[in-house]
């Protein structure tokens, strides 16, 4: 049999319904004008007229060549117009710009993109962010008087973080010449009153720091100081999910180690391999010196201080280890201070170290609270800690707000016993799963509650004008203290039989939260419905408002064992809200 006779014959072309459905179109045996598919479905079988395809022109066709030449001519004209605009911007150029029109970012981008190839060819690598301050000054967006005013304001901010200091009498001209990174960071940190300017300075500073470190591999005290300033006042710059704090902190620590700042000059010189000691020898130092420069000692201690504070409040790893040499650096600055703020460095470091030391001593893993002698041990530790704290603080600690806050934070650190760490949930409960805290544990918990309350009350005693000067460790301390008060006031799975009424009678958390919301709104103008900005400083008021709403709802519930799961859930939510400002 002929196989061709068994195959269904095809239509010359598919009907419109079959073509739309992308199915095979076979003619019907009954009606030659209708396909089988349309006959079964009852669709209208329509064969559209074929459209004649346009013939492609050959590459050497005259009309094709003319069209391409016309396009090239248009592109050449656009390039000439772009170059003319660029020259106008780079010349006298800033006539159409004013301080009320912060359009630096809109014209800086074309400059960088349009002329990048020419600049790279001429000078290898030209960084537009290096010249952002000159551009701002030239356009009038930033004046010399305003810049010098920001430098003076930063000198006031140094009281809360004395690790990078600008000498008295320093001007923008001297910093531009000798410490350009430091100038850029100082202006970015101190220009809070002009959010648009601060945003421009921060963005260019961030990009400049990352490029200088990661691409150019520069290591200098000037660069390290700029990174430390950026980290210390990062609450002005922090935006959730865009945060670089931990990465930049690790970079700063790496630079410290690469420059040998964690070693004595003689030891660093003896090692040589992998260390860059130009910062010391170019400044006239020798390998026999006991210490590096004062600026180097400050930033070394500052990196440790930030890393240690972050490690406790946010449960992050501390990647720079404490050494006795670090304490000797702090003592040398205290004994031979270059600036008044140098006297603050030693007590700040000592209180932080005391908090870490006694935290380890009072951990349930290191102290058996169930034994009969535990009460005496705990009371001895508490007395020793208080005596040492009073020893390192000034005569009147209340007169020095930074050290007062630091002492309260160190006390909370010492007494917290990791009972508020979410990592210990369902692993080890203080006092056991079915037993209330022992009297000695109760004493430690009450001391922790008192220190957290004292921190918040001290913070609220600050004049409002001081809040924009505060460094990020002080804000972290506030967040950690509020978290302690919150958890002890609603209950925590680590303390299943803790009586929350004790905390509520001793601490009126709702009043503290009300005051914090009011004060932050007075400074920033932010509300829950309409935040003034996306940075931490602007969002702090709305965050505390949400915490207050959560607390007022939970405190109405009875304290029953069935609430442990709910308490854990709300505890995690609160930590998530507070961690939002750090982790994004």
What's residue 521's pLDDT? Answer: 92
Tokens of 498: 């803790």
Please state the three-class secondary structure of 139-198 as a single string: HCCCCHHHHHHHHHHHHHHHHHCCCCCCCCCCCHHHHHHHCHHHHHHHHHHHCCCCHHHH
Three-state SS at 492: strand
Band (pLDDT 50/70/90 cuts) for residue 533 is confident
Contact at 8 Å (CB) between 478 and 508?
Answer: no
pLDDT in tens, 351-406: 999 999 999 999 888 888 888 888 899 999 999 999 999 998 866 555 688 899 99
Q: What is the 3-state secondary structure (H, E, C) of 507-561?
A: CCHHHHHHHHHHHHHHHHCCCCCCCCCCCHHHHHHHHHHHHHHHHHHHCCCCCCH
Which percentage of the chain shows pLDDT scores above 90?
A: 46
Q: What six digits make up the tokens of 215?
A: 């691409």
H-helix or E-strand spanning residue 387: helix 374-392
Q: Residue 559: its pLDDT value, please?
A: 63
Q: 471-495 as b/e, with b when 16 or more CB fall inside 10 Å?
A: bbbbbbbbbbbbbbbbbbbbbbbbb
232 found inside a domain: yes
C-alpha span between 332 and 339 (Å, rounded): 13
Confidence of residue 22 (pLDDT cuts 50, 70, 90): confident
pLDDT recorded at residue 450: 95
What pLDDT shows up at residue 270?
Answer: 84
* CA dihedral over 508, 509, 510, 515, signed as positive or negative: positive
Residue 309 CA to residue 352 CA, distance in Å, equals 8
Do residues 538 and 526 touch, judged by C-beta distance below 8 A?
Answer: yes
Residue at 526 is within a domain: yes
- Give the residue from 427, 407, 404, 426 showing the smallest Cα distance to 415: 407
Q: Assess whether 358 and 500 both reside in one domain.
A: yes
Kindly state whether residues 236 and 347 are assigned to the same domain. Answer: no
| pLDDT above 70 (res 467) | yes
Q: Are residues 315 and 346 in the same domain?
A: no
Domain's final residue, options 326, 357, 390: 326
CB atoms within 10 A of CB 66: 9
Domain presence at residue 570: yes
CA gap 198, 396 in Å, rounded: 36
Residue 407 in this model has a pLDDT that exceeds 50: yes
Token pair, residue 208, equals 């400049």
* 150 and 254, same domain (yes or no): yes
Q: What is the pLDDT of residue 241?
A: 65
The better pLDDT of the pair 280, 383 is held by 383
User: Residue 198: what pLDDT?
Assistant: 93
C-alpha distance from residue 543 to each of 190, 482, 507 (Å) = 24, 12, 20
Residues 443, 379: contact at Cβ < 8 Å?
A: yes
Residue 231: count other Cβ atoms within 10 Å of its Cβ.
25
Q: Residue 428: pLDDT above 70? A: no
pLDDT bin (cut points 50, 70, 90) of residue 11 is low
**pLDDT score of 453 more than 90:** yes
Q: How confident is the model at residue 9 (pLDDT cuts 50, 70, 90)?
A: low
The whole-angstrom distance between residue 317's C-alpha and the CA centroid of its chain comes to 16
How far is residue 300's CA from residue 290's CA, in Å, rounded to a whole number?
A: 15
Are 397 and 537 contained in the same domain?
yes
Burial (0-12, 13-18, 19+ Cβ within 10 Å), 371: exposed
Given this model, what pLDDT does residue 61 score?
66
Residues 348 and 266 in one domain: no
Work out how many domains the chain is built from and give that number: 3
Q: Please, are residues 275 and 292 in contact by the beta-carbon 8 Å criterion?
A: no
| pLDDT tens per residue, range 490-519 | 887 777 778 899 999 999 999 999 999 999
Higher-pLDDT residue of 267, 572: 267
For residue 2, pLDDT beyond 60: no
Record the tokens describing residue 364, joined without a space: 């349930």
Whether residue 301 contacts residue 324, with contact meaning beta carbons closer than 8 Å, is answered with: no
CA separation for the pair 259, 222 (Å, rounded):
12
User: Could you tell me the residue range of the domain that residue 475 belongs to?
Assistant: 341-583
Q: What is the mean pLDDT of residues 260-270?
A: 89
What backbone phi and psi angles, to 5 degrees, belong to 72? -65, -40
As a whole number of angstroms, the distance between CA 105 and CA 112 comes to: 11
Which run of H or E residues covers position 392?
Answer: helix 374-392
Rounded distance between C-alpha atoms, residue 70 and residue 72, angstroms: 5
Most confident residue range from 250-254, 401-405, 413-417, 558-562 = 250-254
User: Mean per-residue pLDDT for 246-267?
Assistant: 92
98 vs 300: CA distance, rounded Å:
41
Q: Are 163 and 226 in contact (CB under 8 A)?
A: no
Same domain, 233 and 362: no
Cα separation of 3 and 109, whole Å? 71
Please check whether residues 231 and 354 belong to one and the same domain.
Answer: no
- 107 lies in a domain? no
Higher-confidence residue: 92 or 259? 259
For the chain, what is the mean pLDDT?
A: 81
Q: How far apart are CA 261 and CA 243, in angstroms?
A: 27
The pLDDT assigned to 120 comes to 29
CA atoms within 13 A on the CB side of 324: 0
For residue 54, the 8-state DSSP code is: P
pLDDT at 148: 95
Which of 299, 326, 353 is a domain's end point?
Answer: 326
Confidence category of residue 126, pLDDT binned at 50, 70, 90: very low
Q: Could you tell me if 509 and 486 are in contact, meaning their C-beta atoms sit under 8 angstroms apart?
A: yes
From CA 30, how far away is CA 144, in angstroms rounded? 94
Asked whether the predicted pLDDT for residue 583 surpasses 60, the reply is no
Query: In 3-state terms, what secondary structure has residue 49?
Result: coil
| pLDDT (average), residues 88-107 | 41
pLDDT value at position 572?
53
- Do residues 152 and 292 share a domain? yes
Task: Examine residue 445 and state whether it is found in any structural domain, yes or no.
Answer: yes
pLDDT value for 65: 72
290 and 348: one domain?
no
Least confident of 286-290, 325-329, 467-471: 286-290
The pLDDT, as a whole number, for residue 109 is 35
Residues 145, 23 share a domain = no
With cut-offs at 50, 70 and 90, classify the pLDDT of residue 417: confident
pLDDT of 445 higher than 50:
yes
Q: Within 10 A of 49 (CB to CB), how many other CB atoms are there? A: 5
Report the pLDDT value the prediction gives residue 440, as an integer from 0 to 100: 87
Per-residue pLDDT at 464: 93
- Provide the 3-class DSSP secondary structure of residue 471: coil
Of 4-18, 39-53, 332-346, 485-499, the one with minimum mean pLDDT is: 4-18
Bridge partners for 495 per DSSP:
492
Domain termination residue (choose one: 293, 326, 359): 326
Instruction: Tell whether 72 is covered by a domain.
Output: no
For position 370, what pLDDT does the model report? 84
Contacts of 452 (CB under 8 A, 6+ apart): 408, 412, 480, 481, 482, 484, 485
Output Rg (C-alpha) for the chain, integer angstroms: 34
pLDDT bracket for residue 527 (50, 70, 90) = confident
Give the lowest-confidence range in 14-28, 186-200, 430-444, 559-573: 559-573
Asked, for residue 536, whether it belongs to a domain, the answer is: yes
Q: pLDDT (tens digit, 9 = 90+) per residue, 224-252?
A: 999 999 999 999 987 766 678 888 999 99
At 106 the pLDDT is: 36
* Confidence at residue 105, expressed as pLDDT on a 0 to 100 scale: 39
| Residue 333 domain flag | no
Quick one: pLDDT at residue 542? 92
More confident call, 162 vs 98: 162
Using CA atoms, how far apart are residues 288 and 290, in angstroms rounded to an integer? 6
What is the rounded distance in angstroms from the CA atom of residue 133 to the CA atom of residue 184? 7
564 and 438 assigned to the same domain:
yes
The lowest-confidence range among 99-103, 274-278, 510-514, 574-578 is 99-103
Which of 97-101, 277-281, 302-306 has maximum average pLDDT? 302-306
Least confident of 315-319, 341-345, 422-426, 498-502: 422-426
Q: Is the dihedral of CA 413, 415, 420, 425 positive or negative?
A: positive
Of the candidates 510, 463, 503, the residue with the CA atom closest to the CA atom of residue 484: 503
What CA–CA distance (Å, rounded) separates 85 from 18?
Answer: 57
């Amino acid at each position: 049999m002929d196989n061709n006779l068994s195959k269904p014959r095809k239509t010359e072309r598919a009907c419109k319904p079959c073509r739309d459905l992308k199915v095979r179109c076979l003619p019907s045996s009954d009606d030659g004008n209708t396909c089988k598919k349309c006959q079964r479905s009852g669709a209208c079988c329509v064969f559209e007229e074929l459209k004649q395809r346009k013939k492609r022109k050959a590459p050497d066709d005259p009309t094709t060549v003319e069209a391409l030449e016309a396009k090239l001519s248009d592109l050449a004209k656009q390039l000439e117009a772009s170059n003319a605009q660029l020259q106008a911007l780079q010349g006298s150029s800033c006539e159409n710009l004013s301080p009320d029109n912060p359009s630096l970012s809109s014209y800086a981008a074309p400059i960088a993109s349009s002329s990048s190839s020419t600049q790279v060819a001429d000078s290898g690598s030209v960084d537009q962010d290096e010249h952002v301050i000159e551009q701002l000054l030239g356009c009038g967006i930033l004046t010399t008087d305003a810049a010098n005013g920001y430098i003076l304001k930063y000198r006031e901010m140094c009281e809360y973080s004395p690790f990078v200091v600008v000498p008295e009498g320093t001007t923008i001209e001297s910093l531009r010449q000798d410490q350009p990174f430091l100038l850029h960071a100082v202006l970015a940190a101190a220009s809070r009153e002009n959010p648009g300017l601060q945003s421009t300075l921060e963005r260019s500073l961030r990009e400049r720091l990352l490029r200088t470190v990661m691409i150019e591999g520069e290591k200098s005290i000037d660069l390290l100081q700029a990174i430390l300033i950026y980290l210390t006042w990062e609450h002005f710059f922090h935006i959730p999910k865009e945060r670089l704090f931990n990465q930049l902190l690790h970079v700063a620590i790496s630079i410290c180690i690469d420059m040998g700042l964690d070693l004595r000059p003689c030891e660093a010189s003896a090692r040589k391999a992998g260390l860059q000691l130009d910062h010391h020898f170019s400044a006239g130092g020798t390998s026999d010196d006991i210490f590096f420069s004062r600026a180097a000692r400050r930033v070394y201690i500052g990196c440790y201080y930030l890393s240690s504070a972050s490690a406790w409040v946010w449960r992050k790893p501390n990647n720079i280890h404490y050494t006795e040499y670090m304490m000797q650096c702090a003592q040398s600055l205290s004994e031979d201070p270059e600036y008044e703020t140098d006297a603050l460095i030693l007590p700040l470091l000592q209180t932080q170290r005391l908090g870490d030391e006694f935290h380890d001593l009072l951990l349930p893993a290191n102290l058996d609270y169930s034994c009969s002698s535990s009460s005496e041990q705990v009371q001895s530790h508490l007395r020793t800690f208080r005596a040492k704290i009073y020893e390192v603080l000034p005569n009147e600690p209340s007169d020095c707000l930074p050290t007062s806050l630091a002492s309260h934070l160190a006390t909370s650190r010492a007494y917290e016993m990791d009972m508020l760490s979410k990592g210990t949930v369902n692993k080890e409960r203080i006092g056991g799963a079915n037993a209330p805290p022992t009297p000695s544990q109760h004493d430690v918990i009450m001391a922790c509650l008192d220190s957290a309350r004292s921190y918040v009350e001290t913070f609220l005693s600050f004049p409002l004008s001081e809040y924009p000067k505060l460094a990020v460790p002080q804000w972290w301390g506030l967040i950690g203290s509020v978290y302690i008060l919150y958890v002890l006031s609603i209950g925590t799975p680590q303390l299943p039989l803790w009586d929350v009424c004790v905390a509520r009678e001793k601490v009126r958390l709702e009043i503290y939260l009300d005051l914090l919301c009011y004060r932050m709104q007075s400074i920033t103008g932010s509300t829950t419905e309409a935040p003034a900005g996306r940075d931490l400083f602007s969002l702090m008021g709305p965050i505390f408002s949400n915490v207050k709403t959560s607390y007022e709802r939970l405190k109405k519930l009875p304290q029953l064992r069935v609430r442990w799961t709910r308490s854990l859930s709300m505890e995690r939510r609160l930590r998530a809200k507070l961690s939002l400002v750090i982790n994004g």
